Chain A
Amino acid sequence: MSDSEIVRADPVLHAHGDEHGHGTLRGYLIGFVLSAVLTVIPFALVMAGSPFTAGWTVAIVVACAIVQIAVHSAYFLHLNTSGEGGWTLLAYVFTAVIVIITIAGSLWIMYHLNTNMMPGMPTGQANQTP
Chain B
Amino acid sequence: MTARGDAIAVEGGPDPTWHLVEQEGHDHGTGSPTALGFWIYLMSDALLFATIFATFGVLSTSYAGGPTPREIFDLPLVALNTALLLVSSITFGFAMLSAVAGSVGRTRAWLVVTALLGAAFVGVELYEFGHMMAEGATPQRSGFLSGFYGLVGTHGAHVTVGIVWIAVMLVQIGRRGLIVENRRRLLCLSMFWHFLDIIWIGVFTFVYLLGMLR
Contact = CB atoms under 8 A, between A and B. Distances in A.
B183 interface: yes
Interface residues on B, range: 35 or more
Nearest to B45: A95
A25 B57 CA distance: 37
Interface of A is mostly: helix
Contacts of B180: 10-12
Contacts, number: 156
A106 B100 CA distance: 43
B79 A47 contact: yes
Interface of B: 22-23, 26, 28-32, 34-36, 39-40, 43, 46-47, 50-51, 53-55, 57-58, 75-76, 79, 82-83, 86, 89-90, 93-94, 96-97, 99-103, 178, 180, 183-184, 187, 191, 194-195, 197-198, 201-202, 205-206, 209-210, 212-213
Contacts of A23: 93, 96-97
Interface of A: 3-4, 6-7, 10-13, 15-16, 21-25, 28-29, 31-32, 35-36, 39, 42-43, 46-47, 54, 57-58, 61-62, 64-65, 68-69, 72-73, 76-77, 84-85, 87-88, 91-92, 94-95, 98-99, 102-103, 105-107, 110
A102 B96 CA distance: 34
